[in-house]
Amino acid sequence: MRVQVAIVGGGPSGQLLGRLLQQAGIDAVILERQSGDYVLGRIRAGVLEQVCIDLMDEAGVGERMHREGLIHGGFDMLFNGERHRIDMEQLTGGKHVMVYGQTELTRDLMDARRAAGLTTIYQAGNVTVHDFDTAKPRVRYEKDGQTHEIECDFIAGCDGFHGICRASIPRRAIHEYEKTYPFGWLGVLSETPPVHEELIYANSPRGFALCSQRSHSRSRYYLQVPLTDKVEDWSDETFWQELRLRLDPDAREKLVTGPSIEKSIAPLRSFVTEPMHFGRMFLAGDAAHIVPPTGAKGLNLAATDVKYLSGALIEFYQDRSEAAIGHYSERCLRRIWRAERFSWWFTSLMHRFPENGEIGQKFQEAELDYLVNSRAASTSLAENYVGLPL
């Protein structure tokens, strides 16, 4: 097979890139090692910045997002038993975010690709990338007991943190920055109405909690837990009981509980690869960077990568210019490091770090008090949360 761009990874990054390239008349194939159903079964973030919303519209797949997505103009900060609202729209001149599940966004893109009759190779086994430091990159994979090869001009590594693309780059050619956190997030998805119309971020002596949502009838809740905890240690009853203990009285009273339809524990890390390309292979999304989910930046950073990468590839084919390709990594990383800093700061502010003791909790409470009572500090938080300008 011969294509212009081979996209490794069929999640939201790969699907969005494939859609934008298709609209520009660029031939691209997507390879995904899992099945389509598996991809849609992964429960991920659901807070979209304007850059992500605009790209979905540009890709022509934003209709259901606008119909079902929930506009949020603010969120609540809970500490010392009281909630304080951060009014993002007022603080940022009318900017907001949209709550729309990553699964639904990916489904919209997959449906559009299928309707266009474009090639997505699911359950592609043993994917390997070759000669990406030359003008003739190749991708090999196994399917139905046979080995196949794709010749291409460029490889887009959208295959996540554990994917083959970044792992194939010579170690001397990249630098990896990483911070791991001493806790994880226990997440529960339930068919219950949200406890509040907007998100609640809770700093509690018992640990962090987040009350989120996917729709008016589907809720997503998180608890900070030790990395040693296992999902099977947490029954639904135990989860709801602990969540109540981390909320304020009003939220406890309004909390509707029910059976979990998904439950998982995710570790938290900050991770960045520099640069984000090697030869004719480019990394995008989780293949290049990971942020703690506290700031809701992961999917939005991936969308920004795709915006820059699709634009660079389109410029290459339409104008025969490699200028944007040459600046891809630099343009992405400036925004990535800003989001990494914000996500690290917000995570450090809202979670319990046992090694910091009681004084650490007091420091957090003092900073939170300043944050909600200083317009300048609140504005900084709101500006970062809705997304800094490109």
Interatomic CA distance for residues 240 and 255, integer angstroms = 9
Contacts of 385 (CB under 8 A, 6+ apart): 75, 86, 88, 97, 295, 296, 342
- Name beta bridge partners: 150: 139
Instruction: Look at residues 123, 158, 162 and name the one whose alpha carbon lies nearest to residue 141.
Output: 123
Q: How far is CA 320 from CA 5, 27, 90, 292, 306, in A?
A: 15, 16, 44, 38, 20
Element (H, E) at 334: helix 323-350
Interatomic CA distance for residues 346 and 367, integer angstroms = 11
Residue of 141, 181, 201, 222 marked catalytic: 201
For 196, the token pair is 């509040």
Interatomic CA distance for residues 214 and 189, integer angstroms = 9
Instruction: Look at residues 146, 127, 147, 145 and name the one whose alpha carbon lies nearest to residue 137.
Output: 127
Phi, psi of 301 (to 5 degrees): -65, -40
Pairing state between β 74-79 and 200-202: parallel
For 311, the token pair is 């634009």
Residue of 194, 196, 293, 307 marked catalytic: 293
Interatomic CA distance for residues 357 and 353, integer angstroms = 7
Asked if 385 is an active-site residue, the reply is yes
Residue of 12, 72, 100, 289 marked catalytic: 72
Asked if 141 is an active-site residue, the reply is no
- CB-neighbour burial class of residue 50 (10 A; exposed 0-12, middle 13-18, buried 19+): middle
Residue of 181, 221, 308, 385 marked catalytic: 385
* Helix (H/G/I), strand (E/B), else coil: 44: coil
Q: Give the other-Cβ count within 10 Å of 26's Cβ.
A: 21
Instruction: Look at residues 109, 276, 254 and name the one whose alpha carbon lies nearest to residue 193.
Output: 254
Give strand ranges (E) for 61-145: 70-72, 74-79, 82-87, 97-99, 120-122, 125-130, 138-143
Residue of 196, 289, 297, 307 marked catalytic: 297
Asked if 293 is an active-site residue, the reply is yes
- Name beta bridge partners: 195: none
Asked if 221 is an active-site residue, the reply is no
Asked if 201 is an active-site residue, the reply is yes
Instruction: Write out the catalytic residue numbers.
Output: 72, 201, 293, 297, 385
